Structure 1
Amino acid sequence: MITYKISMSCNDSDMFNYADKVISISAIDTKDDTCRLSLRTDSDALVASIRDIGLINPPILRQRQDLKYQIVCGFRRIKACQSLGWHEIRARVLLGDLPELDLLKLAILDNRSHRPLNVIEQARGIEKLSAHIPSRNRLEVLASVLGFPPNQKVFGKLSKLCRLPESIQAGVLDETITFEAAVDLHELSPEDALSFFDLFKGLKLSQNKQREVITLVQEIAIREDLQPGHVLQSKEIRTIMDQPELNQNEKGLKVRAYLKQRRFPMLAKAEEWFSKERKALKLNEHVHLTPPPYFEGGPYTIRMTFKSMKDFDERCKTLDAMAKNPALRRLLEPFK
């Protein structure tokens, strides 16, 4: 028998006793993900390493009452051995009746000993711990000891992330959807959240623009008494997404423009009117006229650039011509 010792905090430690055994892989319940933190268990590099060098770090298992073995640490290692056609594997089998909370602690610390946990692994770890620790304060203290972010705001966001479908969690890792945008989806139904995710897969949007799309769609859904997924399945959005001549950036611009027009129909008309009349002013690239935000009665802004007195005189002539142009009066009157 070997004693496996792992420190849980600065003040105490837990002792885990285990026996080295050779276990039939068929006796391992690979579908029991009680202690699994990672979404993906496949790794070509790990397969190659085990094939060439062997299994250096045996997985840790626990035998259940039904005599099947539960994986505590080493999901990827066992998956790699399976892909190599192994039928047996050397493992460390924990002895004694250990509570699930201790198994989770061991799984988290074992993962952290190999590499930093990614954001999804952190979220899954917090979610699994919270099932055993109802007190938020105790959970945050233990999570901090185990290496999770001590910031309460980040901690709360990680908890929300784990409630999303696994495909969206995977999308955070491959940057199809940003962390903040994914958190915004946590209160939606899985179907609606996946509708947003499917849209983002076909677009190239920054974090702020993804969040803008989520907000616009939710506001449209509330105003029109629809589900967000129904808004995203509109004919207009499908038409944009089905245009092969548009790249992802261009599709993103058109989708956002459509949503803004649908959400703020009067604002869209005002923007269209302003754009038309501004063109009639025949301003050049050195003079820019900007309306007040949302055309809500604030001041208009004129910005001009110049390098010399000659340039300055030219800009003044442009402004003088602008003041005499009837288009300026037409442009201002609708928004008095």
Structure 2
Amino acid sequence: MLSDSEPVSNRMACPLRMSVFLKELKCYVFLFLLQPFTAEDAKSKEMKYEYEEKTVPLSKIDLRDTTCRLGISIDADSVVESIEAVGLINPPVLAGKGGSMYRIVCGFRRVKACQILGWPTIPARVLPGVVPLPDLLKLAILDNRAHRCLNVIEQARGIHKLTAYIHPGNEIEVLAPLLGFPPNKKVFTKISTLVELPDEIQAGILDETISLEVAVDLCKFTCMDAISFFDLFKKLKLSRNKQREIIALVGEIAVREGIWPAEILQCQQVSDIMENPDLNRNEKGSKLRAYLKQRRFPELARAEETFRESLKELKLGSHLHLTPPPYFEGDTYSLRMTFKSLEDFNRCRRDLEAISKKAAFRKILTDF
């Protein structure tokens, strides 16, 4: 469980809520621990910090310190107009970080907005002395969750930042209620891997360019390979299943040919497909998948092409459908015919009789 100087077994680590009491210029922040056994237990495990309202020079706030930041970037545009109109209603929470500099605990967008507006100083709530880092992180998480649910990237970053302070084996029990994800090992594993991805791919998860499942698939690749996949998916806007199919095909080709996945995605054949002005997005996606299948399974691709040519010679029409065995493994074919009347049925029967005498049909049955 979360700890600083106390033994792990002596502290519970899942804050549920934050109560802030103001008295003149001083405030007391209480972080209550989740699921106390009794009210008495809750009191005994209470962590109390006194902080002070101060006016702090913006030059003394280290905007590069992202220790307590959960988001990918600081988008302050939506806050600038509000602060310009009514001022800073809710001051950020800061903590000293040595010397005269401060670290932002809560309120990255507010501080950034004030910087954009050219404020030389900013009102802030400053925590005293040296506050244990896990407590700063918990406070930052609670501040975010007071307004909204954390997104999956914020959850991933919360896991990454707090895991070092948790007793091994207790991560899910402690972090699921704190960060707001289901207490499930499979979910925890998926979310926790996302911090390995470049920021642009993490942003792509949030704007739904790729799904969580696809992002997890990309975690097993190098940064360069993952970005190559992501750039492709941004252009094609494929479904989740088709994205995963491409990832699997490229990964298998890379292993088979002993090259990097990025080399496959940047090869001339792929470039020709992606840059063809006569193809729309769906056509490019179909041709790319066909090319990758042909490269991954060359013998199967040749068999499929030969089969298609033989079908053209048979001229089955729309009422007869011949299907080969899956992957051309085996010798059982399927034939489906559609008809609306006895006359249609007799026509199908006559066509079948004629087809059975064609050399192309005999070739299909003997060559595959």
Which TM-score applies when normalising by structure 2?
0.85
Which of 248, 256, 269 pairs up with 1:223? 256
CA distance in 1, matches of 2:322, 2:48: 71
Query: Which stretch shifts more, 125-134 or 260-269?
Result: 125-134
Offset of residue 218 of structure 1: 1.3
**Aligned counterpart, 2:288:** 255
Which of 282, 295, 317 pairs up with 2:328? 295
Query: Which stretch shifts more, 144-153 or 301-310?
Result: 301-310
**Aligned counterpart, 1:44:** 77
Which of 133, 154, 159 pairs up with 1:126? 159
Which of 325, 332, 336 pairs up with 2:365? 332
Query: Which stretch shifts more, 118-127 or 193-202?
Result: 193-202
CA distance in 2, matches of 1:310, 1:108: 73
CA distance in 2, matches of 1:188, 1:247: 29
**Aligned counterpart, 1:176:** 209
Offset of residue 30 of structure 1: 0.8
Note the alpha carbon deviations across 1:23-62, whole angstroms, 9 max, x for none. Answer: 1211111111111111121143322222223322221111
Flag the 1:250–1:93 CA change in 2: closer, same or farther, 3 A.
same
CA distance in 2, matches of 1:288, 1:314: 14
Offset of residue 300 of structure 1: 2.3
CA contact (8 A) 1:120 1:162 kept: yes
Correspondence 1:150-299 to 2 at 5 A: 150-297=183-330, 299=332
Which of 302, 313, 337 pairs up with 1:304? 337
Query: Which stretch shifts more, 307-316 or 2-11?
Result: 307-316
Helix, strand or coil: the match of 2:91? coil
**Aligned counterpart, 1:9:** 34
CA distance in 2, matches of 1:82, 1:277: 71
Which of 134, 144, 161 pairs up with 1:111? 144
**Aligned counterpart, 1:35:** 68
Helix, strand or coil: the match of 2:47? strand
Offset of residue 73 of structure 1: 1.3
Helix, strand or coil: the match of 1:131? helix
CA distance in 2, matches of 1:311, 1:15: 85
Aligned positions, number: 334
**Aligned counterpart, 2:173:** 141
CA distance in 2, matches of 1:286, 1:96: 82
Flag the 1:129–1:306 CA change in 2: closer, same or farther, 3 A.
farther
Which TM-score applies when normalising by structure 1?
0.93
CA contact (8 A) 2:172 2:184 kept: no
Percent identity between the aligned chains? Answer: 55
Offset of residue 299 of structure 1: 2.9
CA distance in 1, matches of 2:237, 2:216: 18
Flag the 1:312–1:118 CA change in 2: closer, same or farther, 3 A.
farther
Decide which structure has the larger Cα Rg and report it.
2
Structure 1 residues without counterparts, runs of 5 or longer: none
CA contact (8 A) 1:8 1:145 kept: no
Offset of residue 68 of structure 1: 1.0
Backbone CA RMSD of aligned residues: 1.9
Note the alpha carbon deviations across 1:65-88, whole angstroms, 9 max, x for none. Answer: 132111111112222222222222
CA distance in 2, matches of 1:285, 1:60: 71
Correspondence 1:49-88 to 2 at 5 A: 49-88=82-121
CA distance in 2, matches of 1:301, 1:260: 23
Structure 1 segments (4+ residues) deviating >6 Å: none
CA distance in 2, matches of 1:69, 1:92: 11
